[in-house]
Structure formats: C-alpha cells, structure tokens
A and B are shown apart, each in its own frame.
Chain A
C-alpha cells in the first residue's frame, strides 16, 4: 500500500514536444505529491508539488495533473528542451505527517532530442 508506481521507465521526446510522465499510488492517506528532477551525479531537485485539493498546478513549462478518484498524478513538460533531459521521480507523502517520509517512484529517464 506504500508503493508509488511510475511510468514510463524511459521516454524520448523531440525538442518542442510534450513530455508526459505518470504515477499512481495506493495509500489514500497521501496528501502531498512532489516531482523531482535529477541530473547524473547530482542530488534530486524539487520541480513542482501538488496537494489533492486542486486538480492541476502549473509552474512555467511544468504542470501537474491530479486525479484523486483514480489515485493518479502526472507531470507534463511543455515545449520540452534538451536541457530537460534528466531522470524524473514522482513521490508521495503525508503533508504535516509526523515522519515527513516520502515514497518515491521508480524514475523516468527523459531524453529530449534536438
């Protein structure tokens, strides 16, 4: 029940295209869903996060769509650029929970071709 399933495992997108990465969770208690971007040899960096009281959040070219009933959320990268090539991880946690623990998805390796 603590799993977060992420797909696809890898993704190739042409420059200017839309990259879409999907995640699904099982624990209905989760109420905090961040996305992290990681470049090789670096630590993850928070991209954008959403809480389930909204169905969509947009920050620049990055948008999270959230479907509470389906227990799914996705990251959309508009106008994808070669500099977006990285590994993306979704995560789920309890906002304000005692442990502050995050459960991470398995990651998606995105390659944006010029």
Chain B
C-alpha cells in the first residue's frame, strides 16, 4: 500500500514552454501533498505544501507564479513549471501524506525535467 506515482518520469522541453507534472496517490487519499526539487547530489528542497481544495503554501524563495500547484482532489496534485528556462532543469519529487498518518510521507519516483 501507500503508492505514489508521478507522470511523466522524464520530460525534455524547449525554453519558454510550460510543463505539467502529475502526482497521484494510487491506493490512499492524500490529505496533503508536497513538492520537492532536488539538484544532483544534493538534498531535497521543499518547494510547496498543498492541501486538497486549498491554495498551496510556498516556501520562501519559491516563485508561486513560476511553479503553479493544483491539488484538485484527494488523489491528484499537479505542478506546472511555467515559461521554463534551463535553470529550472532538475529532479522534481512529490510526496503525499495519508489521512491519520501524520508525517509519514510517501514519495513518488520523481520526474527529471530538462529544459533546452
């Protein structure tokens, strides 16, 4: 149980385009989803926290207009990187917390974004 999927697993796009990444909890309802960014050989950097049906809470320094997060249902959250630039190239990972399981975050497999 507690499986989180991400789609796509990798994506290559041109500079200036927008890219949407989906995060789904497959076998549980996720009250909270988190989006992280990870550069090579570095730790996970929390970008934002989203609760179903409400606006995401962004961490300091993360541009909310650049990284649009939608958490429309208890099993789906999306991250849209708008007007992507090469410096946005990174590994994006989502995680989800099940109702009643505080802080036990289940991570997705990640999405590798490369912006040319």
A104 & B103 in contact (Cβ 8 Å cutoff): no
Count residues of A near B (Cβ-Cβ below 8 Å): 25
Prevailing SS type, chain A contact patch: loop
Q: Do A43 and B93 form a contact, CB below 8 Å, given A99-B49, A101-B46, A109-B41?
A: yes
B108 & A100 in contact (Cβ 8 Å cutoff): no
Complex Cα–Cα for A50 and B57 (A): 27
A100 & B44 in contact (Cβ 8 Å cutoff): no
Prevailing SS type, chain B contact patch: strand
Please name the residue on chain B nearest to A32 by beta carbon. B103
* A10 CB, nearest partner CB in chain B, Å: 10
Please name the residue on chain B nearest to A49 by beta carbon. B104
Asked if A102 lies at the interface with its beta carbon under 8 angstroms from chain B, I say yes
Chain A 40-51, CB within 8 Å of chain B: the 1/0 string?
011111100100
Which B residues lie within 8 Å of A107 (CB)?
Answer: 41-43
Chain B 2-42, CB within 8 Å of chain A: the 1/0 string?
00101000000000000000000000000010100000011
Complex Cα–Cα for A102 and B97 (A): 11
Q: Do A89 and B43 form a contact, CB below 8 Å, given A44-B107, A99-B49?
A: yes
Q: List 7 A-B contacts (CB under 8 A).
A: A32-B103, A43-B93, A43-B95, A89-B43, A93-B103, A102-B103, A107-B42
Q: Which 8 A-B pairs have the closest CB atoms?
A: A43-B107, A96-B102, A93-B103, A43-B110, A43-B109, A44-B107, A32-B103, A106-B43
